[in-house]
Amino acid sequence: MSGPGEYLPDPTEGITRPEDLPQPRVVRRSRNYKHYSCPRCHRRCWRNSVFTRILHDVGDLVSGRPRDIHLTYSQHYCTKCRKCFNADTTYYALPKAHYTHRVVSLAVRLVVEDGLPYQQASWHLWRDHRVFVPFATIQNWVEGGGKKSRRQNGKRVSGLGAR
């Protein structure tokens, strides 16, 4: 709050319910194919059904709105292996994840490199990147990634700004 420039609080400061935050801008992406190779036997398989995943991405600071990717993907059935499988969406996110790779690596960096506590990292992600991530989710990413030990390595060189 010191230094040049007038201090203007974030317009969303004080909002406690995520549903009161600005509505996301929706971006559509597709991994929807008529045929797809079976990951086991590499046979080309017909599409069985189509699903949509919603992924929270880094938001848009110009409009101040979050950004959601509606990712459509096909599910296929291999008659030889007798198994269902999905078109690959790992370019955007890990299986079952609700956030893109970009958001996860940003969050983990805030904690591991900048040493922010989880709650502060969550606020920072919202304020500076317009993506809402509950702090417990960030904690799962950091601790699940086995990067906790790096955080305990003592003094860090980055984060020279006033904190």
Nearest alpha-carbon partner for 132 in 147, 145, 119: 119
41 binds Zn ion (CB under 5 A): yes
148 binds Zn ion (CB under 5 A): no
Q: How far is the CB of 82 from Zn ion (least distance, A)?
A: 8
CB-wise, 36 or 141, nearer to Zn ion?
36
Per-residue contact flags (x/-) with Zn ion for residues 71 to 100, judged by CB under 5 A: -------x-xx-------------------
Amino acid identity of 140? N
CB-wise, 80 or 127, nearer to Zn ion?
80
CA distance 72 to 112: 33
Report whether 101 contacts 57 (CB < 8 A).
no
Report whether 128 contacts 58 (CB < 8 A).
no
| 127 φ/ψ angles, rounded to the nearest 5 degrees | -65, -45
Which one of residues 21, 29, 32, 38 is an interface residue with Zn ion (CB under 5 A)? 38
Nearest alpha-carbon partner for 57 in 88, 89, 113, 98: 98
Q: How far is the CB of 38 from Zn ion (least distance, A)?
A: 3
Q: How far is the CB of 85 from Zn ion (least distance, A)?
A: 8
Which one of residues 28, 34, 35, 40 is an interface residue with Zn ion (CB under 5 A)? 40
Q: What is the end-to-end Cα distance of the chain in Å, rounded?
A: 10
Q: How far is the CB of 37 from Zn ion (least distance, A)?
A: 9
Number of other residues whose CB lies within 10 A of the CB of residue 2: 6
CB-wise, 78 or 103, nearer to Zn ion?
78
For binding to Zn ion (CB under 5 A), which residues are involved?
Answer: 38, 40-41, 78, 80-81
